[in-house]
Chains A and B, each alone.
Chain A
Amino acid sequence: MWLKRLFAGSREREVIKLFKEHLNSVKLSCEAFAKAIETDDKTLLNEVCELEKAGDAIRREIALKLYEGAFLPVMRGTLYKLAETVDEILDTLEDVAIDYVRLVSLDSDVRELCVKVANLNIKMSVNLMEAFEALGGKADPSDKTIKIRVREREVDAIKHEIYRKLIKKEVSNFWEGKILSDFIDNLVKVSDIIEDAADLIQILNVSLR
C-alpha cells in the first residue's frame, strides 16, 4: 500500500484536488458577492456563507491528508498555511457579506467603486487558481502571482478613493458608521489575503529547487 502511495502519489492527488475545490469556492464566493452588490440582491449572499462552511470542511480535510503523510515534510507546513489562508479569504468574504446585509445605505458612487473592487477580487481569485494549477503544469506561477500583486495595488488605489468619499459622508449614528467602515475594510482585505496566498504559492514553487 505504501509503495502504491509512493509511486502513484494518490494522497498527493487528493490534496491537490481539495486545493482546487477550495480555490474554486473562493472564486464562486467572489462572484456571488459581486453579483449581490451589483444588483443589490442580498439573498445571493447566502451562497457566500454556504461556501465559507464548505471551505472549513475542505481545510480540515487537507490538514488530515497532509498529516497522514501526503507530500514531503519540507512542503507540508507551507501547504497547510496555504489552506488556512484560502480559508481566511472565505471567512473575510462572509464578513463582508454580513456587513453588507447590515448596511443602512450605500451611496451610488461608493457602490460603484465597491463593485469595481468586487470584480477585481474575482479576477484575483481566478489568477490564484491559475497560479496553483501552474505548480502542477508547465506554466510559471510567477506570471499569475505578479498579476495578483498588480491588481492588489489597483484595489489599494480604489480603497483610498472610497475613503476620500466616505470622510465627507454624514452618518446618523455610531453603528451606521462602524458597519460601513467595517464593510469597506473587509472588502479591500480580501485582495490582501489573496495576495498572501499567492506569496505562499510562490514560496512552494521554490521550496524544492
Chain B
Amino acid sequence: MLAAIAAMLIAFSIGSNDTSNAFGVSIGSGVLTFRRAILLLGIFVTFGALTQRKVMHTVGSLASLNTALIAIALFTSAFVIVFSNWRGFPVSSHQAIVGSLVGAGVAVGSAKLDLLSSIVISWIASPITALFIAILIYSALERILSKVPLFLAERVISMMLLFSGAVIAYNTGANELATALGPVVSSGHLNATIAALLGSASLFAGAVLLSGRVVETVGKGITPLDAFSGFSAQMAAGLTVFAFTLLGMPVSTTYCIIGSVAGVGMLKGLTSVRLHLIKKIMASWVITPAFSFTVCFLIGLLMGY
C-alpha cells in the first residue's frame, strides 16, 4: 500500500514537472492556454500509460526488492522530484527512480547492473539523438515553409505545435509514468491497468496544482523560442522518447527536450542558448541519481538487508 502511495506521489510530481515538456512551448508561444494544455496532457498521458507496457517491465525488473524497500525507493524519488520542482529546475524523474531502485538493489545484492548500463547509455544517447533530430527537423521545415504562404505556414505551425505536444504527453504516460509504476506493478501490488489509471489521475492532479513554474523555465527560460523552433525542438524530443519507449528504455523527456532545444539553439547560433542555465541543469542531472542512489543504498544497509 505504501509503495502504491509513493508511486502515486511520483505521478503527482511528474504532473507538476512535465506539463512543461509537453506543452511548455505551446503555452509560451500562445497556441494553448494553460488550462487547455493540462486537459490535453491528461488525455494523452492516460492513453500512453494504457497502451505501452515495455518501460514498466524494464524498470520493474531492475532490482528484486521487498515492499518496504520499494516504498522507500519511491518515496526518496518523490522527495527529490518535488524538491527540484519546488526550486524551479526541470529534473529527470527517471534518474531519481532508477537511482533509488538501484541504490536499494545494490544494498540487497539484487540490482541488475547490465540492465542499468543499458539504461545509462540510453540516458546519454537520447538527448544527443534529440539534438540531431531537432537540427534535421528544423533544417527540413525551414526549406519547406519558406515555399509556403505565410498564413498557411502560421496555421501549420500552430497545428504542429499541438501535435508534437500530444506526442510528448503520450510519452509521458508511456515512459515517464510507466517508470514510476514499474516497481509497483512488477511486485504485484497493483494491476497494470489500474495502476495506469490511478497514476494518470495523480499526474493530472499534479499538473493542475503545481506545474506553473517549470512551464515558465522550459517554455521561455533556456532559449527564447519562436513557434517554429519550438515545434522542431518538441517534435525531435517526442520522436526520440517514443523510439526509446518502443525499445523499453526509460529515458527522460526533460533530457531530450533540453537536447533538442540546444540543437535548435546551435543552429541559430550558440548565443541564443543560455549556457549557464544548461550547466545548472546538467549539474542537477548528476546530483539527482547520485543522491537517490546514496540515500536508498544507505537505508538498505541500515535496515540490515
| Residues on A facing B (Cβ under 8 Å) | 2, 6-7, 9, 12, 16, 69, 71-75, 134-138, 204-205, 207-209
When distances are taken between beta carbons in the complex, the residues of chain A under 8 Å from B142 are 209
Binds A, one of B106-114, B155-163, B168-176: B155-163
Q: How far in angstroms is the closest Cβ of chain A from B44?
A: 14
When distances are taken between beta carbons in the complex, the residues of chain A under 8 Å from B149 are 134-138
Q: Are B29 and A12 in contact (CB under 8 A)?
A: no
Closest to A15 in B: B151
Closest to B33 in A: A2
Q: Are A74 and B226 in contact (CB under 8 A)?
A: yes
When distances are taken between beta carbons in the complex, the residues of chain B under 8 Å from A73 are 29-30
Closest to A74 in B: B226
**Which 4 A-B pairs have CB atoms at the shortest separation, nearest pair first?**
A73-B30, A136-B151, A135-B150, A208-B153
Chain B 272-302 near chain A by CB (<8 Å), digits 1 or 0: 0000000000000000000000000000000
| Residues on B facing A (Cβ under 8 Å) | 29-31, 36, 142, 145-146, 149-155, 157-159, 162, 226-228
Q: Are B30 and A72 in contact (CB under 8 A)?
A: yes
When distances are taken between beta carbons in the complex, the residues of chain B under 8 Å from A12 are 151, 154-155
When distances are taken between beta carbons in the complex, the residues of chain B under 8 Å from A208 are 145, 150, 153-154, 157, 226-228
Per a CB cutoff under 8 Å, which of B36, B151, B155, B228 touches A135? B151
How far, in whole Å, are A16 and B162 apart by their CA atoms in the complex? 23
Per a CB cutoff under 8 Å, which of A2, A9, A134 touches B155? A9
Of B150, B153, B155, B227, the most chain A CB neighbours within 10 A belong to B150
When distances are taken between beta carbons in the complex, the residues of chain B under 8 Å from A137 are 149
Q: How far in angstroms is the closest Cβ of chain A from B10?
A: 31
Q: Are A209 and B146 in contact (CB under 8 A)?
A: yes
When distances are taken between beta carbons in the complex, the residues of chain B under 8 Å from A209 are 142, 145-146, 153, 228
Q: How far in angstroms is the closest Cβ of chain A from B116?
A: 43
Q: How far in angstroms is the closest Cβ of chain B from A105?
A: 47
Closest to B151 in A: A136
Q: Are B154 and A71 in contact (CB under 8 A)?
A: yes
Q: Write 23 A-B pairs (CB below 8 A) sorted by A numbering.
A: A2-B36, A7-B159, A9-B155, A12-B154, A72-B30, A72-B154, A72-B158, A72-B227, A74-B29, A74-B226, A135-B149, A135-B151, A136-B150, A136-B151, A137-B149, A204-B150, A205-B150, A207-B150, A208-B154, A208-B227, A208-B228, A209-B142, A209-B228
Closest to B226 in A: A74
Q: How far in angstroms is the closest Cβ of chain A from B5?
A: 36
When distances are taken between beta carbons in the complex, the residues of chain A under 8 Å from B228 are 208-209
How far, in whole Å, are A15 and B146 apart by their CA atoms in the complex? 23
When distances are taken between beta carbons in the complex, the residues of chain B under 8 Å from A6 are 31, 158-159, 162
Q: How far in angstroms is the closest Cβ of chain A from B155?
A: 5
When distances are taken between beta carbons in the complex, the residues of chain B under 8 Å from A75 are 154
Q: Are A72 and B157 in contact (CB under 8 A)?
A: yes
How far, in whole Å, are A207 and B229 apart by their CA atoms in the complex? 12
How far, in whole Å, are A204 and B150 apart by their CA atoms in the complex? 8
Known: A6-B162, A135-B150, A135-B151. 17 other contacts (CB 8 A): A2-B36, A6-B159, A12-B151, A12-B154, A12-B155, A16-B151, A69-B30, A72-B154, A73-B30, A74-B29, A134-B149, A136-B149, A136-B150, A204-B150, A208-B154, A209-B145, A209-B153
When distances are taken between beta carbons in the complex, the residues of chain B under 8 Å from A205 are 150
How far, in whole Å, are A180 and B152 apart by their CA atoms in the complex? 47
Q: How far in angstroms is the closest Cβ of chain A from B65?
A: 44
Q: How far in angstroms is the closest Cβ of chain A from B27?
A: 11
When distances are taken between beta carbons in the complex, the residues of chain B under 8 Å from A134 are 149
How far, in whole Å, are A72 and B154 apart by their CA atoms in the complex? 7
When distances are taken between beta carbons in the complex, the residues of chain A under 8 Å from B158 are 6, 9, 72
Q: How far in angstroms is the closest Cβ of chain B from A129?
A: 15
When distances are taken between beta carbons in the complex, the residues of chain A under 8 Å from B145 are 208-209
How far, in whole Å, are A75 and B36 apart by their CA atoms in the complex? 22
How far, in whole Å, are A187 and B179 apart by their CA atoms in the complex? 71
How far, in whole Å, are A159 and B157 apart by their CA atoms in the complex? 45
Q: Are B227 and A136 in contact (CB under 8 A)?
A: no
How far, in whole Å, are A7 and B154 apart by their CA atoms in the complex? 11
Q: How far in angstroms is the closest Cβ of chain A from B157?
A: 6
Q: How far in angstroms is the closest Cβ of chain B from A156?
A: 29
How far, in whole Å, are A135 and B36 apart by their CA atoms in the complex? 30
When distances are taken between beta carbons in the complex, the residues of chain A under 8 Å from B227 are 72, 74, 208
How far, in whole Å, are A207 and B150 apart by their CA atoms in the complex? 8
Q: How far in angstroms is the closest Cβ of chain A from B293?
A: 43
How far, in whole Å, are A9 and B155 apart by their CA atoms in the complex? 7
When distances are taken between beta carbons in the complex, the residues of chain B under 8 Å from A135 are 149-151
How far, in whole Å, are A73 and B146 apart by their CA atoms in the complex? 19
How far, in whole Å, are A74 and B145 apart by their CA atoms in the complex? 16
When distances are taken between beta carbons in the complex, the residues of chain B under 8 Å from A7 are 159
